[in-house]
Structure formats: C-alpha cells, structure tokens
Amino acid sequence: MKKKGLALLIGAALMAASLAGCGGKNTDADDTAKADKTAGSDAGDSSAVSTPADNASDGDVVELEFWGWWSSEARKPHIESMVKGFNESQSKYHVTYVDIPFGDIFTKNIAQITAGKPCDIMANNMEEVRFRASQGQVEALDPFLTDDVKGAFYEQYLEACTGEDGSIYALPLSVDTRAIYYNKAHFEEAGINPEDIQTWADLEEAAIRLDQKNGDTWERIGFIPVLGNGGVDTWVINANSGYGWFDENFEPKVNTDVNKEAFRWIRAQIDRYGQTKYDELSAVFANGMQDPFASGVMSMLVQTSAYPSSLRQNAPDLDYGVIPLPEFKEGTGHVANGGGFVLEIPKGAKNPEGSYEFIKYVTSRETQDFLSTNIGDFSARNDFDDSTEFMSNPLNQDLAKCLSETSTLVLPNEVKGYETVINPFIDEGTLGLSKTDDALDKAQKALEDYVKNN
C-alpha cells in the first residue's frame, strides 16, 4: 500500500513537472506553438510582434525562429521591431526572436544541429564562417543569392562569408573596427590637435604630453597601446598593412624585423608607466566593470566601434572623439583589425528559403539603416553612405573612416586556434617576463610546429 503511495507520488510529481514545463504549449515538434515565444510579450509590448492568433488562421504561414544574443534594453526592442517589420512585410513566414546569452548560444546551436532540430536563422561571428562551413554546420546560400544581393556588400566581408569550396554561407549583419578614442578636454589642455597624430611616433609624443605624474603616482595616463580592445596583434596588423602573424601565403611570420620593432615600441610605452601600473590597469579592463577612460584617468584608448554605447551609460557627459590608428611609418596605412557578425542558416533548418528571405530583409539597406541608427552598429553594405540617418552623426563618420581601412583577415581552417599557441609567448613580452624579441622568436617556433602538425 505504502509502495503504491510512493510510486503514485513520484508519478504525480513527474506529471506535474511535465505539465508545468510545457506551460500549456506543445513541444518543439509543433512548430506553430513557437509563435507563443514572442519576446515582445515579455516586454509588455504585445503590439510589437504579430501574435500567433494573427497567423493561426493561415495554414501556409511558416514559423521561423531567429536566434541572437541581444537581450539588453538598448538593443532588444529594436531587434524585435525589425522582426515585426519583416512579419508585416509578407504573409508567408512568421519569425520569432529568441535571445540567448552570448558565448553559450554557440554551444546550444551545435547541440541542436547535432540533434537535427536547429533554429532557422542564427547570428554568428564573421571570423569563423569558413570553419563552420567546413564542419557542415551551415547551409549554403547559393541557391537563393542573386547578383544584386551579392554585389551590395564590400568584397572583403563577402569573402569572409565564403567557404573554402567557394560557396557563400552567410551574409554580413554588422561589422566593427578599432579606433583610438580620445578625451577632448585633455587634448585641449595639452594643446594637441588630434589630426596631428599620424604616425606611431606622433602618438607617443602626444601620450607623453598628456601624462600627468604626482611624485610616484600617475594621475593621468596618456596612452597604453595594449589596453581596452587593443592587443599586440592590433599593432602588428597595423604595422604590416593588414597582415599580422602570417604573410599573404599564410606562412608564419611572427619574428620579422617589423614585428620585433613594433613589439619593442609597445614595450617602451608600457615601461614609461612601469609594469605595476600596466598590470593594474590591465586587470581593471579585464574585470569589465571599471573604465579608466570614462573616468578621465586615461586620455586615449583603443576600442571598437561599439564603445560609444558603453560611454553613453558610463560617462554621459564625457566629451570625446575618435582618430584612426596612426601609421607605423609614413605610408604604411592606418590599418585596424576588425570583425563582425553574420546571419546564417544552421544545417538542417526546416525551411532554408524562408530563413533566407529573413536574412535578405535584415541585410537590406533600409533595415541596416534602421539597425545602425538605433543600435549603433556599422553595416557592411557598399551603398551605406552619408545619405543614411546613421552616417549624419559626425562620430559615426569618423568611425566609418576607420572602417574603410579595416582588415578582416580570415585565416584558413588549418591554422584555426593558433592564438592559443602564440599568445602565451606574447604575454611573456607584455608582462615583462622575457624580452620582446625572444618572445617573438619562441612564438615563431611554436607557430611553425603548430602549422606543420596541422
């Protein structure tokens, strides 16, 4: 009797959990139920997205799920508006936006592809499109692409979306670059014209003029090149006019004379403030909470083109501007490294044609202008010029100039993960544990071995 009672209790518990988990909806086997997942309803904006009832009567409506990671108030409402715009622009498909935490979204995506039930449209990083294509994780867009769509993007970004088999596997959603953000008040006080900073030597000179030290205490830091979003690779790519640790044939070129000179220069900038100060600031940026530039403690900082959204929150009154990364030597170019995000169709998606229709809509000029104006991201479209609302902002115009000299070097799959091989040696140089020349020599040897073994 007691046995039966316990079995009944466990059974009832499972049943209740199952019912609670389903929440009155069907499982993912029933596609129409997915429309219930409208994120807009959570935000209390029921009018923002079409309701399932709108489409329930239309048997031809295909439900599609779009995965991204934009859950903040600054982005999510605009993404939802964009999705709503697509849903209202046609009657064949109904897209639902699902936001999943950045980083973890990729694990979930892989699991779903393996299970054969992926989402329909996925935002992903641009740098690894080629890798995902080689692993069979994404659908080729070739059957749907037309010349006018292909011709609407800058070549370098479309190239990044192209697999080693020549097929296009994604379309660019947004792109970014790196620039130097400077504090206008500090520049004015030090009598520096930002346009005069054209070379690394100019940058160093400006940093020295901006520095302020009281006894042994640094009260203001002019510039440290490898803080914020700048790394040794940022400056090596700049010095090599777009190529970093590899040459144009993707042969390892870590310990070249140019790279050694560049790393020695970086080391000299760190040494001006001392290893302890650099370590302290490096830890501050690593924790992600404090921002010495927003606090007025640093006068210049390398950051991505997405940085203004952070400054709007952290330092709404800060008067700042941007300049491109200076040239290593006159004529080598103001090259910065950048990347971006793409939209792609995970392998096994149930309706690739519908997914593509959504991707085409999002990457259209009109939608890109809407996203840029409201979110602040840059578009990879080549017809995205000054006539757009977004580009009427002077800061965006300056960032766009940096974007025009941005390198989005996509390396072959054979060298994927090379950073884990060379970064420990590069860190030895920035942490002062070994001489920069020695660090690069060791990194060269390690990278050669890595390439050989792959």
Partner 1 sequence: MIRSRKNKIADIVLFVILAIGAIFILFPIAWMLSTALKSAPEVAMYPPKLLPEKLLFGNFAIAWGKAPFTRYTINTLIIVFFTIIGNVFVNSFVAYGFAKIDFAGKKLLFKVVLATMMIPGFVTLVPTYVIFSKLHWVDTYLPLIVPAFCGNAFHIFMMRQFYRTIPNELMEAARVDGAGHFYIWGRLMMPLVKPVMATVALISFKGAWSDFQGPLLYLSDKNKYTIQLGLQVFKGQGYTEWNYLMAVSFLSMIPILVLFFCFQNYFIEGMNVGGAVK
Residues in contact with partner 1 by the rule CB under 8 A: 2-3, 6, 10, 13-14, 16-18, 20-23, 25, 27-29, 36-37, 39, 42, 65, 69-75, 98-102, 104, 107-108, 110-112, 114-117, 284, 288-292, 294-295, 297, 304, 306-307, 309-310, 313-316
Instruction: Pick the closest to residue 343 from 178, 108, 139 (CA basis).
Output: 139
| CB of residue 252 to partner 1, shortest distance in Å | 31
The answer to whether the beta carbons of residues 71 and 99 sit under 8 Å apart is yes
For 146, counting Cβ atoms within 10 Å of its Cβ (0-12 exposed, 13-18 middle, 19+ buried), the class is exposed
CB of 116 to partner 1, least distance (A): 8
Do 169 and 162 meet the contact criterion of CB atoms below 8 Å apart? yes
| Closer residue to partner 1 in complex, CB, 284/446 | 284
The CA-atom distances, in angstroms, between 357 and each of 92, 136, 335 are 10, 21, 35
User: Per the structure block, which two tokens stand in for 364?
Assistant: 């259209």
Residue 298 near residue 162, CB atoms below 8 Å:
no
Smallest separation, CB 33 to partner 1 (Å): 9
Count of residues in the chain = 454
Nearer to partner 1 (CB atom), residue 37 or residue 435:
37
Q: To the nearest whole angstrom, how small is the minimum distance from the Cβ of residue 308 to partner 1?
A: 9
Closest CB 159 distance from partner 1, rounded Å: 24
| Helix locations, 135-294, DSSP H | 147-150, 155-160, 184-190, 200-210, 232-239, 257-273, 275-287
Name the DSSP class of 42: H
In the bound state with partner 1, the residue whose beta carbon lies nearer, of 102 and 208, is 102
C-alpha to C-alpha distance for 181 and 59, rounded to whole angstroms: 53
Smaller CB separation from partner 1, 117 or 365 = 117
Does residue 173 contact residue 342 with C-beta atoms inside 8 Å? yes
Residue with tokens 């490898």: 226
State the Cα–Cα distance between residues 62 and 64, nearest whole angstrom.
Answer: 6
Rounded to the nearest whole angstrom, what is the least distance from the CB of residue 84 to partner 1 in the complex? 16
Residue type, 160: A
Q: In 12-79, where do the E strands start and end?
A: 62-68
Nearer to partner 1, 22 or 268 (CB): 22
- Residue for token digits 């940022």? 234
For partner 1, the closer of residues 46 and 313 by Cβ is 313
Q: Which DSSP helix (H) or strand (E) runs through 340?
A: strand 340-344
**Cβ-based nearer residue to partner 1, 62 or 443:** 62
Rounded to a whole number of angstroms, the minimum distance from the CB of residue 105 to partner 1 is: 9
Calpha distance 116→103 (Å, rounded): 21
CB of 228 to partner 1, least distance (A): 12
Q: Which is nearer to partner 1, 22 or 433 (CB)?
A: 22
Closest contact distance (angstroms) between CB of 399 and partner 1 is 13
Taking the complex as a whole, how short is the minimal distance between the CB of residue 277 and partner 1, in angstroms?
12
Q: Which CB sits closer to partner 1, 256 or 310? A: 310
Q: Among 429, 130, 396, 389, which Cα is nearest to 275's? A: 429
Take residue 274 and report the two structure tokens written for it.
């001392």
Rounded to an integer, what distance in angstroms lies between the CA atom of residue 230 and that of residue 178?
A: 8
Beta carbon nearer to partner 1, 74 or 145: 74
- State in angstroms the smallest separation of the CB of 42 from partner 1: 5
Nearer residue to partner 1 within complex by CB, 137 or 444: 137
Distances (CA, A) of 408 to 2, 181, 185, 201, 341: 68, 21, 33, 25, 12
Quick one: 316 exposed, middle or buried, by C-beta within 10 A (0-12, 13-18, 19+)?
A: exposed
